[in-house]
Amino acid sequence: MSKKRKQYSASFKSKVALAALKGDQTTSEIAARFQIHLTMASAWKRELLENASDLFEGNKKSGKQSDEHSTDELYREIGRLTVESARFQIHLTMASAWKRELLENASDLFEGNKKSGKQSDEHSTDELYREIGRLTVERDFLSRKLDQ
């Protein structure tokens, strides 16, 4: 199984960056104190220094504009998935679920202890046939229940 990356909140990142910026501790000490990797503390400090001037500019985006932007991105993704599902004649949720599954399991492709290609293909084919059989039985059962 792939291990998910830990995602840190903006407030946590700012605490680490401010501690690094203070200069009373080394970056190694700060990383140990916050239980993060050394490079993260350095990167967040650098990002704070690079973007500090943005905090004082008067032409910042308002929260509403930012929400509209993310809403537009969501609509774009929904539209893209709808087009994909229509093109392949599948339900929208299936395309989304398959994409999520692919992203979650992509790291498995790079693991060193994989089976050889032919064995893996045969195994995958057997799994697909099994799943097709299970779904066929389920479909038949449900259609009989609906006919009653």
Distance of alpha carbon 95 from alpha carbon 88, whole angstroms: 9
Per residue in 11-52, pLDDT tens? Answer: 889 889 888 888 889 999 999 999 999 999 999 998 888 887
| pLDDT surpasses 70 at 128 | yes
Q: Is 134 helix (H, G, I), strand (E, B) or coil?
A: helix
Q: Would you list the domain boundaries of the chain?
A: 10-52, 65-103, 118-148
For residue 60, CA distances in Å to 17, 44, 45, 53, 71 come to 22, 21, 21, 11, 19
